[in-house]
Structure 1
Amino acid sequence: MTDLLIRNARIIDGTTDRPQDATDIRIADGLVQETGSGLSAPGATEIDAAGRYVMPGLTDAHVHVIAVTADLKANAALPDTIVAIRSLKLMNAMLMRGFTTVRDLGGATAALRMAAAESPVPLPRLNICGKALSQTGGHTDQRGPIDETPTPERNVPLGSMGIICDGVPAVRRAAREQFRTGTDFLKVMANGGVSSPSDPIHFLGFAREELIAMVEEAENAGSYVAAHLYTDKAIRRAVECGIHSLEHCNLIEPETARLAAAAGCIACPTLVTYDKLSSEGEAMGLPAASVAKVDDVRLKGMESLAIMAEAGLPMAYGSDLLGGMQPHQSGEFEIRGRVLPAQTVIASATTVAAKLLRMEGRIGTLAPGAFGDAILVDGNPLEDLSVLSGQGDRIPVIVKGGEIVKAG
């Protein structure tokens, strides 16, 4: 493993509203070993960051690495081998945009993560929930009203985002199965969705006792539950049932946002996906019924950011893009920057995301003991968030786990 010494590093990590004073960062054995002025590391590869800014590797806390097409029913019908290869390509592109850690919110399995560890191309660190839990007719039930095809309870295709389970015993079994196979947390579809045919946005999905059972199973495993949510009623219900990670939240109201903040929840808005589903979804294969539902949640998204910020509800960075729309992953920075201070937006992909993934001190920071994940940026993102956009065009150097994966 390469020993690195990054000199003249002006760090931007979302904890301050200006770059920190220039320092040196020594990385060895895949971890940040020390920071300070005039560090010495004989034999280490040196990177001079003068004239650039240094950030911890970014974290996208809501991705779907197995969503290789926007038509999720067609995606689930693809052979596992095809999905796996395309997934590696998607993840490599994420890393080249500066995302050294990503949290998959439905689909990626522990087996895929094991395969990714042997990938011939560099990939981001992968945090997973396994298959998302959905009720019959919910978000991930792609069958539609006239499709009577039985849904599998086991051996679910890699390209399928979720698993169907109804009733408390089935929910407990499905939750335990996800943890048995090595997932980090649980995901539940607790509201209607855009990319599925039978669940209008207002659908609440599971019964309260089913949600509470999932939370208990996650707590028993030392973990937490993330929930797909749009409407204020669904979000409040989820918070009351003990759900910790609130995904999307486009239709949240101030009182519920305050309740969630008081409960210690973290939200994960994903506004870029609705922007692109509206403009590109049909061309990328999103079914017409799904395209028609996009504006129900898209138009309130910007307002939701202000509501959650005012309530003190922390927000992690998320993109949630599907198929050919995934190159827009970094566009979330600029969208949020229209409403929120740049420091807050940056923190969403560093310290807030680290807290959500329960990896504080390991990711989202360049303090000693953290993973050796760093990016060098041409331009100050505190002044211009667009330097983080695109395909890493203004991120000439990327280090993941102490290895230089991009140099320029």
Structure 2
Amino acid sequence: MKSYKLEGRVINGLDDHVIEKGCVLVEQDKIVFVGTVEECPNLIPELVETIQIPNATIMPGFIDCHAHVVGADSQDYDECTASHMDLILNAAHDLGQLLDSGFTSIRDMGLFGPSLSRAVDLGLVRGPKIMPSGRIISVTAGHGDHGYQFSKAYLNEHSPLSVLADGVPECLEAVRTQFRNGAKFIKVMATGGVSSPIDKITDVQFSETELKAIVAEAERRGTYVAAHCTGTEGTLNALKAGVKSIEHGVMLDESCIQIMVENDCTLVSTLAISLGIPKMKAVLPAHIYEKGKVCAEKNLKSIEMARAAGIRIAFGTDYTNSKNTRYSDIGKEFEAMIEAGLTPMEAIQSATKNAAYLLKQSDEVGTIEVGKTADLVMVSGNPLEDISVLRGSEKIKIILQNGVLVKRSE
């Protein structure tokens, strides 16, 4: 493997300190030096490649904590009827677009995550490293029940996104099946949602008994449960059961905030979609628009409360590579976070340090520190002054993943 010397403004993801004339040295797959250009060790030029771009900013590789790479939306496949072979091949292609947008790691929620994770690790597929949940677990008639015209048995056979489980025995079977297939954490639908056609956003899905059984089973595997949460009551239900990751958290109240603080629970943002829906009436189905417009204002309040309480906010998008959620435009989430009141540094840390914590990989990635894996991103511009320099894949100029130069667009 080549050695690299990256020069530019360094945002390490660890704290608010910025090195304006900085240098990061990479040998093999590790970061071996972080400091100023003046302090940088002299290396034999033939053994190291120096990378410089105008007005460069160097950051840790970004992490999307809420991805759905099921290969359906980018080609308008019907996920309930399309061949799984078509879907997974398309998903493998889509992963490259995520990587090109600066995302060197993701948490993926869907059937193909474990297989895609292994393929990326083996070098067979170009894309982010993946922490997979396997299929999302939902109750019948819940947020994961997108094919109500089909039988429950058919959906559990064919859906690449979710599995339906009712009662503790089915919930345990669903959890154990995800682990059997390679899941590293579990995702559940604890409330209704915006995109599902047969529930309300305030619906409580899963009993507390069911959720506690799911959480206990995950904890026996040394991992945790993430919960889709829109309505308040269902969110409280999930928190009382012990989930560690609240996805969306649209309608948090003080009781939710208190438990999240006590349990060191992370809030995953997905703000670009939430704040974007009220502006998309012309292109969305009526049931999605009507439910979605209710959520935007409440979501802003939830973020404000979580931030004030010091709750860890991790970057997540809920993007699926649809026409409205292109992976090449996934950096919109950074802009949405600023709209919601976060500072540019907080937004960057949400996609680096905070996200790595949620992936249980803080000792490996998420910050630029000596000894950590060299997952790095370079852009031309200063995101602390203009966060939009992180928005599109064309603005991400240099990407290193595991010390390998996987994108160069100077």
TM above 0.5: yes
Q: State the alpha-carbon separation in 2 of the partners of residues 49 and 39 from structure 1.
A: 20
2:78 corresponds to which of 49, 74, 89: 74
Mapping for residues 224-239 of structure 1, pairs under 5 Å: 224-239=224-239
1:126-183 deviation line (CA, Å, top 9, x unaligned): 1110001111111111133xx25233486x43x5211011111111111111112111
60-69 or 272-281, which deviates more: 272-281
| Contact 1:64/1:108, CA 8 A, preserved across alignment | no
Residue 299 of structure 1: SS of its match in structure 2? Answer: helix
Q: Does 1:395 align with 2:396?
A: yes
Mapping for residues 257-336 of structure 1, pairs under 5 Å: 257-280=257-280, 283=283, 287-322=285-320, 323-327=322-326, 328-336=329-337
Q: State the alpha-carbon separation in 2 of the partners of residues 44 and 162 from structure 1.
A: 47
Q: State the alpha-carbon separation in 2 of the partners of residues 400 and 249 from structure 1.
A: 31
Identical counterparts, % of pairs: 30
1:201-250 deviation line (CA, Å, top 9, x unaligned): 11111011110011111110000000000122222221111100000011
Displacement of 1:116: 4.0
Change (3 A) 1:325 1:363: farther
Q: Does 1:19 align with 2:18?
A: yes
Q: State the alpha-carbon separation in 2 of the partners of residues 206 and 58 from structure 1.
A: 33
Aligned-residue Cα RMSD (Å) equals 2.4
Q: Does 1:53 align with 2:73?
A: no
TM-score for both structures, normalised by structure 2: 0.90
Look up the match of 2:353: 351
Displacement of 1:345: 1.1
Residue 250 of structure 2: SS of its match in structure 1? Answer: strand
TM-score for both structures, normalised by structure 1: 0.91
| Contact 2:71/2:94, CA 8 A, preserved across alignment | no
Displacement of 1:277: 4.3
Displacement of 1:70: 8.4
Q: State the alpha-carbon separation in 1 of the partners of residues 310 and 278 from structure 2.
A: 29
Q: How many residues align?
A: 400
1:248-298 deviation line (CA, Å, top 9, x unaligned): 011112342132112110000211123444545874xx6543333211222
Q: Does 1:382 align with 2:380?
A: no
394-403 or 224-233, which deviates more: 394-403
Look up the match of 2:145: 141
Look up the match of 2:241: 241
| Contact 1:271/1:332, CA 8 A, preserved across alignment | yes
Change (3 A) 1:18 1:352: same
Q: State the alpha-carbon separation in 2 of the partners of residues 167 and 136 from structure 1.
A: 10
1:300-321 deviation line (CA, Å, top 9, x unaligned): 2222211110111111001102
| Contact 1:142/1:196, CA 8 A, preserved across alignment | yes
Change (3 A) 1:78 1:278: farther
Q: State the alpha-carbon separation in 2 of the partners of residues 71 and 174 from structure 1.
A: 28
Q: State the alpha-carbon separation in 2 of the partners of residues 209 and 25 from structure 1.
A: 50
Q: State the alpha-carbon separation in 1 of the partners of residues 289 and 75 from structure 2.
A: 11
Q: State the alpha-carbon separation in 1 of the partners of residues 276 and 93 from structure 2.
A: 20
One-letter amino acid matched to 1:164: L
Look up the match of 2:405: 404
| Contact 1:60/1:103, CA 8 A, preserved across alignment | yes
| Contact 1:66/1:84, CA 8 A, preserved across alignment | yes
Mapping for residues 111-126 of structure 1, pairs under 5 Å: 111-117=115-121, 122-126=126-130
1:44 corresponds to which of 29, 41, 48: 48
Mapping for residues 105-184 of structure 1, pairs under 5 Å: 105-117=109-121, 122-144=126-148, 147=149, 149-152=151-154, 156-157=157-158, 160-184=160-184
One-letter amino acid matched to 1:54: I
Displacement of 1:388: 0.6
| Contact 2:236/2:255, CA 8 A, preserved across alignment | no
Residue 314 of structure 2: SS of its match in structure 1? Answer: coil
Displacement of 1:18: 4.7
Look up the match of 1:193: 193
Q: Does 1:367 align with 2:369?
A: yes
One-letter amino acid matched to 1:109: G
Displacement of 1:402: 1.1
